[in-house]
Amino acid sequence: METSNEKSIGSLIHLSTLSQYLIPFGNYLFPLLLWTSKKEKSAFVDYNGKQALNFQLSILLYSLIALIIAIPTCLYWFISIAEKLEISDNQVTIREIITTQNITGMVILGLVALILVFFLKLSEFFLIIYASFKSANGEYYNYPLTINFIK
């Protein structure tokens, strides 16, 4: 049975990942500090610290992969649009900028990757809140699609 202090620290570890919205890399620093300071004293805190950090690292990996796909494909599309602009006598003429022929599979792939990043970050927020509630109740929670970097 976990003590009230362990439940609070476990919950705080999960909630401290939300510091990423105020402090860059706060989602790694604060949980790491809380986890390393209490992991030897409690298996529950150790488990929650590992889960929170593994989830943050997994989200980072998934987001980087999606952005590596999205950025070059969107840049390619913008460059192809820029080539269609005609500049003459200080006037810009737009000829057929966005047509069905200009929207290729690569562009759709890039847009899907951007949308995926958006939904990853949105689901991250709600999963962190859910995990903190589970931890506050003394339950062991596994984040979905988490890669175990720290075992």
Residue 32: per-residue pLDDT? 92
Nearest to 37 by CA among 12, 19, 60: 12
Tell me what the mean pLDDT of segment 8-27 comes to: 91
Checking if the pLDDT of 95 tops 60, the result is: no
DSSP 3-state percent helix, strand, coil across the chain (nearest 5): 70, 5, 25
**pLDDT tens per residue across span 65-87:** 988 888 888 787 777 777 766 66
Checking if the pLDDT of 130 tops 90, the result is: yes
* Residue where the block lists tokens 């989200």: 59
Q: Kindly report the backbone phi and psi dihedral angles of residue 73, in degrees, each rounded to the nearest multiple of 5, phi listed first.
A: -70, -40
Check residues 129 and 91 and name the one with the higher pLDDT: 129
What H or E segment, with its residue span, contains residue 85? strand 85-88
**pLDDT tens per residue across span 96-128:** 566 666 666 777 787 888 888 899 999 999 999
Check residues 95 and 84 and name the one with the higher pLDDT: 84
